[in-house]
C-alpha cells in the first residue's frame, strides 16, 4: 500500500468511526423526545421522530456499505479490523434502538386522550432517564475506546431492569384497583418492554466496544462456560 493510499485508508476509517458516533448521538437524543411524546401527547413530535428514524435507517445503510467496502478493498487486520467489525455491529444496535423509540411514539398515539395513572408516568420517566444515561455512557465508551466503562454498562442496566419490574407490578395493581383501563395497561406494558430493550442495545454496544479495544468476545466466554459445565458433568 502506498503512503497516499494508507492515508486515505486511515482517513476513511476515522471518518466511519466519527459518523457512527454522530449516529449514536442522534439516537440517544431520540430517547427523551419519545418520552415527551408519550407523556405530553405531542403527536407532531411523534411524526418528527418517524422522520428522524428514516434518517437513521438511511445513514445506517450507507455506513454499513462503507464498512464492507473497506473490508473488501483494504483487508484490514488486528485493531483496524476490530474497529470495522464493531462498527458494523454497533450500527445495527443503533438502528434497532431508533425503531424502538418510534414504537414508543406509536404507543403514545394509541394512548392519546386516555388517562394514565401518575404513578405509572413517574416510573416511565425514570425508565427513560435510565435508558438515556445508558446510551450516553455507551457513546462515551465508544468515543474514548473506554473498555472499563463499556464493561460497567451491564451492571448499570440492572437499574433499568428493576424499574421494568416495578412498572409491570404497578400496572397490574392499577388495573386491579380500577385506575388503569385494560387498553392503557397493554400499551404501557409494551412501552416498558421497549425501554428495557433500548437498555439492552446500549449494553450490546458496550460489548462491541470491549471487543474493539481488547478483542474480548461475550460469545467466547459463554462457550467456555458451556464447555466447563460439560466437562464437570463427566
User: How is the chain split into domains, by residue range?
Assistant: 3-225
Print pLDDT tens along the chain (234 aa): 677 767 887 888 889 999 999 999 999 999 999 999 888 888 888 889 999 999 999 999 999 999 998 888 877 778 889 999 999 999 999 999 999 999 999 988 888 888 888 899 999 999 999 999 999 999 999 999 999 999 999 999 999 999 999 999 999 998 898 888 898 899 999 999 999 999 999 999 999 999 999 987 876 554 444 444 444 444
Q: Please give the Cα distance from 130 to 31 (Å, whole number).
A: 10
Q: Please give the Cα distance from 126 to 218 (Å, whole number).
A: 29
Task: Classify domain 3-225 at the CATH superfamily level.
Answer: Phosphate transport system protein phou homolog 2; domain 2 (1.20.58.220)
* Cβ proximity of 83 and 17 under 8 Å: yes
Q: Which of 140-144's residues contact partners 24+ apart within 8 Å by CB, and which partners?
A: 141/205, 141/206, 141/209, 142/20, 142/21, 142/24, 142/90, 142/205, 142/209, 142/212, 143/21
| Residue 82: Cβ-neighbour burial (10 angstroms; 0-12, 13-18, 19+) | middle
User: How crowded is residue 152: how many other Cβ atoms within 10 Å of its Cβ?
Assistant: 15
Amino acid at each position: 500500500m502506498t503512503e497516499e493510499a494508507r492515508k486515505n485508508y486511515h482517513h476513511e476509517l476515522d471518518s466511519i468511526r466519527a459518523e457512527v458516533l454522530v449516529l449514536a448521538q442522534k439516537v440517544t437524543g431520540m430517547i427523551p423526545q419519545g418520552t415527551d411524546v408519550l407523556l405530553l401527547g405531542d403527536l407532531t413530535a411523534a411524526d418528527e421522530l418517524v422522520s428522524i428514524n428514516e434518517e437513521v435507517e438511511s445513514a445506517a445503510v450507507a455506513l454499513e456499505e462503507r464498512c464492507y467496502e473497506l473490508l473488501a478493498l483494504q483487508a484490514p487486520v488486528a485493531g483496524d479490523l476490530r474497529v470495522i467489525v464493531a462498527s458494523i455491529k454497533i450500527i445495527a444496535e443503533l438502528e434497532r434502538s431508533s425503531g424502538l423509540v418510534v414504537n414508543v411514539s406509536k404507543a403514545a398515539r394509541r394512548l392519546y386522550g386516555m388517562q394514565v395513572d401518575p404513578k405509572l408516568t413517574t416510573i416511565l420517566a425514570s425508565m427513560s432517564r435510565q435508558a438515556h444515561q445508558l446510551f450516553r455512557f455507551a457513546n462515551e465508551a465508544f468515543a474514548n475506546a473506554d473498555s472499563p466503562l463499556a464493561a460497567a454498562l451491564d451492571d448499570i442496566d440492572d437499574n433499568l431492569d428493576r424499574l421494568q419490574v416495578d412498572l409491570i407490578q404497578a400496572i397490574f395493581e392499577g388495573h386491579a384497583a380500577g385506575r388503569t383501563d385494560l387498553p392503557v395497561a397493554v400499551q404501557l406494558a409494551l412501552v416498558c418492554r421497549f425501554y428495557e430493550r433500548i437498555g439492552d442495545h446500549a449494553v450490546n454496544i458496550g460489548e462491541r466496544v470491549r471487543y474493539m479495544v481488547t478483542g474480548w468476545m461475550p460469545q467466547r466466554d459463554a462457550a467456555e462456560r458451556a464447555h466447563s459445565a460439560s466437562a464437570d458433568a463427566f
